[in-house]
């Protein structure tokens, strides 16, 4: 028998960037994200007899074996709640979108892993505990356990759902993958560079509190005119801490800036199109169902023959699902 867990990436509208505790992986800034229903990670887990007196693990992502050390904090935490006989835990994870390219694969990946391990080892964790376990792998993964609109408060152990996926049915995200390459720097390293070397980092943390409150209210009111400027401030202020780090971190590519300008032009023409970016060159444009066509047309017009952009449209997705096969 194997356990199958499916989770969607969670895109932050207000960003988590910086740690309050690196050992426990607690966030210094609160964040609010949405589940991207168009993309998913599917994780299969099976248990084998252990080769030694303690439990061990092996993980592959898209068929590639991963360094087990990257998963040590996660499994050490998970195994604290496990009292059965030692096991070798075999995990195979598949993403239907580019891995480690700034599309939140670690969010859906660790959320799915936490769900699979919880069921496979009979840990009996509730959603909040699963979210806290996912955090040991990756902070943004806390938000991928719930569907819909999710808040991950500053210094909190786990994320919590603000609204279900049907709260704002018209909201859409147009994802423009300008590059499928793996990012050169991990978000973990980049946010540590911001925290430890950018003179703007304290201001970022202070300011992000306001952004969290404003975004929460705008989402409750389903008001994209109010939410859009908050989305833009959050990603640009996050990147300001990277540009001002020693050494600076630059995830943007020339095409990313072109997409930002396309969104700005759309807004000038009265279309609600608010872009955001994460630790990679991809640009995600938050818009409404009625305006998706206009956004796609503008992207088509603005791309050059050399651009091999992959454009997808997503609504708001559900939370983690786990089954046995």
Stretch that binds ligand DP6, among 70-78, 79-87, 134-142, 176-184 (CB under 6 A): 134-142
Cβ-based burial of 80 (10 A; exposed 0-12, middle 13-18, buried ≥19): exposed
Q: Which of 278, 284, 299, 320 binds ligand DP6 (CB under 6 A)?
A: 278
Distance of alpha carbon 296 from alpha carbon 309, whole angstroms: 12
Question: Which of the residues 17 through 76 are near ligand DP6 (CB under 6 A)?
Answer: 17, 25, 31
Strand, helix or coil for residue 232: helix
Of the ranges 11-19, 41-49, 111-119, 290-298, which one interacts with ligand DP6 (CB under 6 A)?
11-19
**Cα(47)–Cα(63) distance, rounded to whole angstroms?**
18
Q: Which is nearer to ligand DP6, 45 or 104 (CB)?
A: 104
The candidate with the shortest Cα–Cα distance to 239, out of 282, 178, 202, 191, is: 191
Bridge-based pairing state of the strands 321-324 and 3-7: antiparallel
- Residue 197: how many other CB atoms lie within 10 Å: 14
Distance of alpha carbon 34 from the chain centroid: 9
Cα distance between residue 325 and residue 46, in whole Å: 10
- Residue 279 CB, nearest approach to ligand DP6 (Å): 5
HSE at residue 299, side-chain half, CA atoms within 13 A, is: 27
Q: Any contact of residue 106 with ligand DP6 (CB under 6 A)?
A: yes
The token duo for 19 is 């740690």
Helix (H) or strand (E) holding 163: strand 160-163
Q: Does residue 95 touch ligand DP6 according to CB under 6 A?
A: no
For ligand DP6, the closer of residues 151 and 262 by Cβ is 151
Among 3, 6, 12, 242, binds ligand DP6 (CB under 6 A): 12
Return the residue matching tokens 């994320």: 159
User: DSSP label at 36?
Assistant: B
Minimum Å distance from CB 94 to ligand DP6?
19
Of the candidates 133, 279, 295, 320, which one interacts with ligand DP6 according to CB under 6 A? Answer: 279
Residue 30 C-beta: closest distance to ligand DP6, Å = 10
Q: Which of 158, 179, 187, 287 binds ligand DP6 (CB under 6 A)?
A: 187
Check the CA dihedral 211-214-216-219 and report its sign.
Answer: negative
Supply the Cα-derived Rg of the chain in whole angstroms.
19
- In the bound state with ligand DP6, the residue whose beta carbon lies nearer, of 129 and 154, is 154
Q: Is 8 helix (H, G, I), strand (E, B) or coil?
A: coil
Smallest gap from residue 170 Cβ to ligand DP6 (A): 23
Minimum Å gap between C-beta 224 and ligand DP6 is 20
Kindly state the smallest distance separating residue 283's Cβ from ligand DP6, in Å: 13
138 lines the binding site for ligand DP6 (CB under 6 A): yes
**Using the rule CB under 6 A, which residue among 35, 118, 140, 177 binds ligand DP6?**
140
As beta bridge partners, residue 174 has 285, 313
Among 30, 139, 315, 319, binds ligand DP6 (CB under 6 A): 139
Indicate the residue among 57 and 251 with the shorter CB distance to ligand DP6. Answer: 251
* Minimum CB distance to ligand DP6, residue 102 (Å): 7
Whose Cβ is closer to ligand DP6: residue 165's or residue 278's? 278
Is the separation of the CB atoms in 244 and 65 below 8 Å?
no
Tell the smallest beta-carbon distance from residue 284 to ligand DP6 (Å). Answer: 11
Residues contributing to the site for ligand DP6 (CB under 6 A): 12, 15-17, 25, 31, 104, 106, 138-140, 187-188, 278-279
């Amino acid at each position: 028998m194997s356990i199958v867990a499916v989770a969607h990436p969670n895109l932050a509208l207000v960003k988590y960037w910086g740690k309050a505790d690196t050992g426990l992986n607690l966030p210094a800034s609160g964040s609010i994200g949405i589940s991207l229903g168009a993309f998913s990670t599917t994780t299969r887990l099976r248990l084998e007899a252990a080769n030694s007196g303690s439990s061990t693990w092996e993980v592959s992502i898209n068929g590639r074996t991963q360094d087990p050390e990257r998963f040590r904090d996660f499994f050490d935490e998970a195994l604290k709640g496990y009292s059965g006989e030692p096991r070798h835990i075999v995990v195979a994870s598949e993403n239907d979108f580019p891995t480690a390219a700034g599309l939140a694969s670690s969010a859906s990946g660790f959320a799915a892993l936490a769900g699979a391990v919880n069921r496979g080892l009979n840990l009996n964790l509730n959603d909040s505990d699963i979210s806290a376990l996912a955090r040991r792998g990756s902070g943004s993964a806390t938000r991928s356990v719930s569907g819909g609109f999710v808040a991950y408060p500053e210094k909190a152990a786990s994320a919590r759902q603000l609204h279900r996926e049907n709260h704002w049915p018209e909201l859409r995200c147009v994802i423009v993958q300008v590059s499928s390459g793996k990012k050169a720097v991990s978000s973990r390293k980049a946010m540590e560079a911001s925290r430890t070397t950018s003179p703007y980092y304290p201001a970022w943390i202070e300011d992000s509190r306001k952004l969290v409150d404003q975004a929460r209210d705008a989402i409750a009111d389903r008001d994209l005119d109010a939410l859009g400027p908050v989305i833009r401030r959050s990603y640009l202020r996050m990147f300001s801490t990277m540009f001002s780090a020693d050494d600076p971190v630059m995830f943007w590519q020339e095409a990313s800036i072109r997409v930002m300008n396309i969104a700005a032009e759309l807004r000038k023409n009265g279309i609600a199109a608010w872009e955001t970016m994460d630790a990679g060159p991809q640009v995600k444009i938050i818009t409404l169902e009625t305006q998706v066509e206009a956004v796609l047309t503008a992207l088509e017009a603005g791309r050059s023959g050399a651009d091999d952009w992959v454009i997808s449209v997503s609504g708001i997705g559900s939370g983690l699902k786990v089954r046995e096969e």
